[in-house]
Chain A
Amino acid sequence: MKHLKVMSVMLIIAITTIVMPAKVQAQTGKEIAWKVYDRPSPKDGESDMTMTLINSKGKERVRYLHQFLKEYDEVEKKVMFFKAPADVKNTSFLNYSYDDDRDDDQWLYLPALKKVKRISGGSKDDYFMGSDFTYEDLEKRSPNKDVHKLLKSETLNGEQCYVIESTPKEEGQYSKRVAWVIKDKWIPLKIEFYDEDEELLKVLTIPEFKQLKGYWTVITQNMENVQRSHKTVIKLSNIELEKGLGDEKFTQRAMMKGL
């Protein structure tokens, strides 16, 4: 009887030992995801943006943009002006992204049409301007949409990182993401994106980031489609944060006026 009792206690301990770390890990993975999501960000900012599309043969196509961004209580407003190449010059794109599950509101100004068109915001799986980034890749994703699991800790590019796996609760464009998050900076240094067959589809790497006005800011990011062997490099320059941008920057009037 006593032997049985000892066995029972040992079994409970064993189960607890197995289960509890898993529970802690799950919470920790979620916490890490929230740390990334809640990483302090500036109220507003603007920058030049260079987007280089590189195909499997190494041929490059470069797009130049200028973007303004401003955070409001429940919405993030972003406007982008295309500066080159010539066939898209003076095109502008305005996006309202909401904290809740509402679809984005988006408008596009095409100078040839001379009017601002509202466009469907439900196409976040679309690739942005022919790049390897989808619209969803370029925005903050709420941790509530995924189940997060801490896989391990390891060093990447000299940075101590948590490695977390995030699996969407609802079917999306990726079956899962695996992110290497820098401890105490909460920047994902690398993210692997897996397709619906759970095959590695894309790899995002952050070769350059720095602290500007107290905010950790990603300067350069590379997205490589490993299945199709092409990649996209986005690099920001002339970054200005906390400028006190006015609301007038994020209007259809500003879109039509241009830079």
Chain B
Amino acid sequence: MKGRRIEARPGQVVDRAEPLSFQFDGRSYTGYAGDTIASALTAAGVGILSRSFKYHRPRGLLCGAGHCPNCLVQIGDEPSVRSCTRPLEQGMDIRSQNAWPSLDNDLMQLTESVSRFLPVGFYYKIFHRPRFLWPAFEHLLRNAAGLGVIDPQTPEGSYDKQYLHADVVVVGGGPAGLSAAVAAADHGSRVLLIDENADVGGHLRFDRPDETVTERIAQCRKALDQAGATILTRTSVVGWYQDHWLSAVRGNRLYKIRAGAVVVASGAFEAPPIFAGNDRPGVLLASAAQRLLHLHGVIPGQRGVIVTASDAGWAVAVDLIEAGVDIVAIADERPEPGPPEQHETLTTAGVVIHQGYTISAARGARGVDEVDLVPVDGTAAKQTIRCDFVALSTSWIPSAELATMAGARSHYDETLAEMTLEDLPEGIFLAGRVAGPCTAEQEWIQGSAAGTAAAAGGPSHDSTTGTTPIPRSSQIVVSPGSAGDKRFVCFCEDVTDTDIETAVAEGYDRIELLKRYSTVGMGPCQGRMCGLNSIRLCAQNTGQSVQETGRTTGRPPVTPVSLGALAGQKMEPVQLSAIHDWHVGHEARLMVAGPWMRPEHYGTPEDEVRAVREAAGLIDVSPLGKLKLTGPGVATLLERLYVNPWKDLRRGRVRYGIMCNDEGIILDDGVCARISDHEWYVSTTSTGASGAVEWMEWWRQSGWGDGVHITDMTETHAAFNLAGPLSRQILQPLTSRDLSHGKFPYMRARRAKVAGVPCLLLRIGFTGELGYEIHCPAGYARYLWETLIEAGIPHGLLPFGVEAQRVLRLEKGHFIVGQDTDALTDPLAADAPWAVRLDKDEDFLGRRALTRISEEGPRQRLVGFRTRRRADALVEGLQVVRPADRGAPEIIGWISSCRYSPTLQETIGLCWLPTELAEQQDTPFHIHVEGQLELAHVHHGPFYDPQGERLRS
């Protein structure tokens, strides 16, 4: 194939006033703005664009439409770019793929010489023996497989998403799509027209230029513009999802579209026939030749042969002749004469017309040098013709992917030798070539009808009823007399018709199995070039009909989508406390705590722990879940959801509660304060807050909600815990509320103004020191926090973070839900039987399970332990084992929390042990650490201040 550029003509999209220079494999070339990479290379006489996947055979332009793997190239860090659709840009540095050392001389083409040892599925049959060689084979195969090169250093790109809505979405901007869009817009619908090409027009853009057609397209655009319709070009619709949700991609943007109805006017594309040497450079689809000629002003060669199964090939022949190409012969497999007008033109031009003939072979070293034409019925001898390209128009495949995704069924029409669609689901309409063969005028009419029907919202419309389609595709599966070279079915994976035969003979005789075993249709083209052929071959080899053979399932995306486009703009919600900026400004080390970012520590956790024990500390506990429950029915609901009693809780009092599910498993815990007769203030764990709200709301809305309202106050109130022996001293000057122990005892709630800010104070003690949990409206948080810090610094107050808090609570032996408890933990096993009131009046979640467990006793218990080893060697999750004389030790428990306690100067923690071990104080047991056994002892109750005197001071 020796392509070249011809003179400018109407309809071309190249701008000859804007030349562009680029490089391909280190050589410089020139093209024009409006060229694709492939059209520019073809114009420059480049015939070989890539090497095939398995045999490294030279490949050239085949489909020209982005449907095949032949033109894939690498541009910079982007592998497998379809050069036949990618617009050329100034300065592009393009490299070929899958060839070494060069595209023209690829050493790997030697694999073809051993191809008889590499039949279909060969990798399942060899390489597994001898086993020791596998790593070597693997290395070899990894380097040989794949196309293109990924650069791990590739910088982040910028991607985004957009949501669109339309009453009618029209996929495809050809004649059918344009008229559908206009009709729907006329009907008053909001219309979105999407086309994957640079401009609307569909195949009209590269058909023989016609002024009336150009004018008609312009009229459509005007009508759509006036109606306020949206047209998206260079956009591919890649998926259909439930309720007419479509995804479409345009460069780095992913569109998510909700359509009221969808008109599928995505047309049909050509696929190549099967004959010897059908993958040679110079063998291309007739529509590819049309695109080159009419869009870019490029002819694919000087001396060509046309092979066709319909009138389509004749039109291409005429166009090429008028462009100055020497068309030597045309082979039309139909016995009857071709279209009279074109027949005359060709005869006059001296083209040899072979009626009832098809192509059986193409031969040539680096491209096509000659082809064999044979009679379809085998009644005459073959004709060998010298040429440098052959254009094929023998098979049309409807672009029906979206319709089948939506649920339409494929049906093989034996007369047409094509797949058609039936059982169109509601809201899907077809128009144009996608629905079957039709004339140009029929496309406009069908589009209009489909658009109107879609806008009216009626039942699905088959726009082809009432017309008798004229077949455009060949009945031939494999060209007769085809020998002398491989006959390719799948161009992506180098699967030949022999491979299919072999696979079926080996037992892979169902299309799904055949596909997976032979990999036919699994390459970049995803079955576009080979789908129908492989089904027909499978049918032929199994003796079944094509319809019986069936087809594989098409799934999104229809065309390749980058992961970046799917990811879109980075949107990772993160919740920040009202005083987050203060933490950042004071060098807090932040940590992820569920959906929140929280300070882990400011200075060192040891200093912070010491400050709390000796003076005072202030921690931001704003992420705590906080729920306001109001109404006469609250006490009853709480009794049902928690294992504790609540009805007897007096106003101003606070009680700790555990919430379980009906299996008795702990879901959440927290304190609850009774503010008034009908107002309660419930706190939950910070990571469990949203879950607790959903849980409580479900019970409230499904029958237990009489007289209960729940208001989520988690973000409305900020909360700080001021803890330490000096906390009262620090807080009292800031409030007129009497904080003395007699007036404000432990486990009480009081409203108070602190530094002028209305607050709720809860005297509770997770840390084990005298302390006040101060809840204030979040807007005041910054002011209040700064005020408290300022008031506390002279007393030695330090802000403290989550890590110090973990140590402090551990010193008191408190468990943390989700840390020390898991999906099997009930409150009895977790050493909190005092929280469970089995005999309360209300039936509560978990009562049955807990009754049983209390009768039988839990098998495992959460218990404290101490060990002499430093905590940094004892990681949470380590196993407690029973050493064995022989063999591996038996796992009997695990460490759920462990820290070095600066207060007690030893390592303490919580662990799960079998009940019999946990029963006695100081019982020794072993922890398995890095192959060694570490000794630890059981400890009951809090490690620090066991009587809780400091809490109650």
* Same complex origin of A and B: no
Query: Taking beta carbons and an 8 Å cutoff, which residues of B are in contact with A?
Result: none
Query: Taking beta carbons and an 8 Å cutoff, which residues of A are in contact with B?
Result: none
